[in-house]
Structure formats: structure tokens, C-alpha cells
Amino acid sequence: MAHDIFSLTGKVIAVIGAGSGIGEAIALGAADQGAASVVCLDLNEAAAAATAARIAATGGKASAVTMDIGDAAGTQACLDRLAEAHGSLDGLVCTPSINVRKPILAYSGDEFDRVVRVNLRGNFNVLQAAGRIMTRQRRGSIVLYSSIRSLVTEPGQSVYAMTKAGILQLAKTAATEWATAGVRVNAVGPGVVETPLTAPIKNNQEWYDAYAKKSPMQRWAQPGEMVGPTLFLLSDAASYVTGTIIYADGGWTAADGRFTPPGM
């Protein structure tokens, strides 16, 4: 019985950002958990198709679709077609984000708009489009990707942190609006994860090591370590979980420093 509540058997799961990193890992994980179909969505259709092909190679059912979450009308049309083709949309995960690391005084208006368009407007577009479908069918689970930066930040992270906090508040608000329609909305807040987005940090050994040491686990996460928290939120095991965030951060937000007192 305990195993069954974590299963995604019979569910149609859409993963936005499935072409690489965390999204790719989640798409593969959803297939492993028995999803009836995994729809791999990404701005890079070839990358999404490669993920879908990996799922198909292991006997799963998957397809690949191009999506630009910054395009509200296109996002709605894409998810509408998906739901119509598959008969439902049971779960949706949205992982994409971008970051421009700069001090506030050095930020340009164009850079601000670019980050907000993807991270905040993009997630709003996805949330609204999926919400319209799921409230009509009176079931579904949406998982947005926030970050530890919704809670703690550092120099150079102003706009990114603002958008990640905004994503969390969007999830909470949608959860309160759609709960009686059978739709759950939650967020995952990763710590530092080795993905294409964080590649510039990995290439700077001092910076990479500093982030590893900040975590009580003394290491970075791998994309696959975000799969469990995400699939839990999609599954029936989380049937009474909505409007919250799971910080999968290796203890980052639990610790306020790196120094261990003597004798500890």
C-alpha cells in the first residue's frame, strides 16, 4: 500500500525544462514511477526529444514538444493540445529559470526584464494555463521550481531572488484559490545543484568549493536528487499537501554559518 501511493501509474505528467538538468531527471523519474505518459517540454525541442527517446528506450511512453513559457498564448495553446491529446493533464512540473548575477547598481533594465520574463512571467503563464485545465477537470498537481534564494540571498542575486520568492507566493496563492477544485500547487526549493545554469560556478573552483562548504552536507546536489521531492508532490502520497515548499537544499537554510564550535 505504501508503495502504491507514491506511484504515478495512469497519470499524464508534463515536465517543462525536460531537455536538461533537473527537468530531464524529473521526466526520467516520472517514467520510472509508472506515468502513463511523460510529455517533455523545452525551448530546445531536440533536447526534449532526446529525453523522450531515453524514456521510450526503456519501455515508457513519452513525447517532446517545444514550449516558450514567456509566450502566454503559446503556453496555453500547448497545454490545451496536450490535455486534449492525452485526455487529461494530471501533473505538471516547471523547472526553467535564468540568472544574471550582477550588483543592483550595475543591473540594466533589459537584464531585469529578461530575468523576470522567464522566471516570474513564465511561471505565471504556466500556472495560469495549467490551472485552467486542472480546475475544469477537478484534479491535478502543479509543482513550480523556486529556490533557497526565496528565503536567503547574497550579493548579485537581487532579481533572481526576487523572482524565486515570487514563484513561491504564486504557488501559495494558487493553492488557496484552487484547493476546492481538487488542484494542488506546491514548490520545490533546491540548494546548489550541478546544472547548466550553475556551470559558470563549477568552473570557478574557489566559488564551487565555498558553496559546497556552506552546506552541512559539504557538497552540491545532483539533478537526480530533486526527483524524489518532486514526484512526491505529484503523487497521491501528497494528497493533503498544498501551498507549501520543500527545500531540498542539503541543510543550507538550516545553518547560519560554517564554523563548528570546539567539542561539537
pLDDT at position 130: 98
Mean pLDDT score, 236-242: 98
Q: Side chain identity at 182, as an amino acid letter?
A: G
Mean pLDDT of 156-162: 97
34-53 residue pLDDT tens: 999 999 999 999 999 999 99
| Confidence at residue 258, expressed as pLDDT on a 0 to 100 scale | 62
Mean pLDDT along residues 5-14: 97
Give percent above pLDDT 90 in the chain: 89
240 catalytic residue (yes or no): no
Q: Of 8-17, 148-157, 199-208, 231-240, which gets the smallest average pLDDT?
A: 199-208
Could you tell me what percent of the chain has a pLDDT over 70? 96
From the list 160, 208, 240, 247, the catalytic residue is 160
Query: Strand 62-66's sheet: what is its strand order?
Result: 62-66, 37-42, 12-16, 91-94, 140-145, 183-190, 245-248
Q: Who has greater pLDDT, 99 or 4?
A: 99
- Report, as an integer, the average pLDDT of 231-249: 98
Given a cut of 50, whether residue 1 has pLDDT beyond it is no
- Cα separation of the two ends of the chain: 41
Phi-psi region of 34 (alpha: psi -120 to 50; beta: other; left: phi over 0): left
* pLDDT for the residue 3: 58
Give the residue-averaged pLDDT of 145-170. Answer: 97
pLDDT in tens, 185-223: 999 999 999 988 788 888 889 999 999 998 899 999 999
DSSP assignment of the chain? -TTGGG--BT-EEEEETTTSHHHHHHHHHHHHTTBSEEEEEESSHHHHHHHHHHHHHTT--EEEEE--TT-HHHHHHHHHHHHHHHS---EEEE---------GGG--HHHHHHHHIIIIIHHHHHHHHHHHHHHHHT-EEEEEE--GGGT---TT-HHHHHHHHHHHHHHHHHHHHHGGGTEEEEEEEE-SB-SGGGHHHHTSHHHHHHHHHHSTT-SPBPGGGGHHHHHHHHSGGGTT--S-EEEESTTGGG-S-SPPPTT-
Domain range list for the chain? 8-250
Structure confidence at residue 259 as a pLDDT band (50, 70, 90): low
Q: Average pLDDT of 241-260?
A: 88
Using an 8 Å Cβ cutoff, are 246 and 226 in contact?
A: no
Mean pLDDT of 172-182: 98
One DSSP character per residue, 37-99 reads EEEEEESSHHHHHHHHHHHHHTT--EEEEE--TT-HHHHHHHHHHHHHHHS---EEEE-----
Between 100 and 2, residue with greater pLDDT = 100
- pLDDT, position 260: 62
Record: fold of 8-250: Rossmann fold (3.40.50)
Mean of the pLDDT values across residues 236-241?
Answer: 98
